[in-house]
Amino acid sequence: MPYAVDFKDVSTVGLESSPVAEALAGLRANEARYYKNKYDHVFTVTPANEAPEILDWVNRILSEERNLVIASRPLEVTSFEVDGLRMAYVFYESGLSINVMYGIEEGAKRAVGFKLSDGMEVPEELAGTFKFARQKSKLAGTIRGSFFVIKGEY
């Protein structure tokens, strides 16, 4: 069942099984606030098992671009279009959030972003390959993030 993320009253709904559920909920709320403020878009997530096509698309990009397979269980996903971008997010039980920003027009920006919830270790599959920059968030504490540019067509 889809859930509109509330960034004013942060909830762990759908993320309860994560060992860093509070921080992951804050990270999810941080993303919801960004899309509401910048694009007036309501950030709505769905349990990952209810939208396998979103997870498959993200997994295909990770696999084909960087030979990455995420070990953690996906909890929630979302996919939407704003301002000429197709966006997709996957929130994992470990506290990892992956987003794909895919410009619809030829030559537009395309990238995969990784964000680590406060309190989680860098996942083994990302360690040593990506450097994570820190940013502070009122909703999520300290977020560590990294990204790579997508070269292929998806």
Using 50, 70 and 90 to split pLDDT, how confident is the model at 141? confident
User: Domain tally for the chain?
Assistant: 1
Does residue 137 lie within any of the structural domains?
yes
Does residue 131 lie within any of the structural domains?
yes
Does residue 57 lie within any of the structural domains?
yes
For residues 70, 46, 34 and 102, what is the CA-based torsion angle, rounded to 10 degrees? 60
Using 50, 70 and 90 to split pLDDT, how confident is the model at 86? very high
pLDDT over 90 at 154, yes or no:
yes
List, for residues 96-132, the tens digit of each pLDDT value: 999 999 999 988 999 999 999 999 999 999 998 999 9
Does residue 21 lie within any of the structural domains?
yes
pTM (2 decimals)? Answer: 0.95
Does residue 41 lie within any of the structural domains?
yes
Does residue 154 lie within any of the structural domains?
no
- Can you give the residue range of the structural domain that contains 38? 3-149
For residues 94, 56, 125 and 46, what is the CA-based torsion angle, rounded to 10 degrees? -10
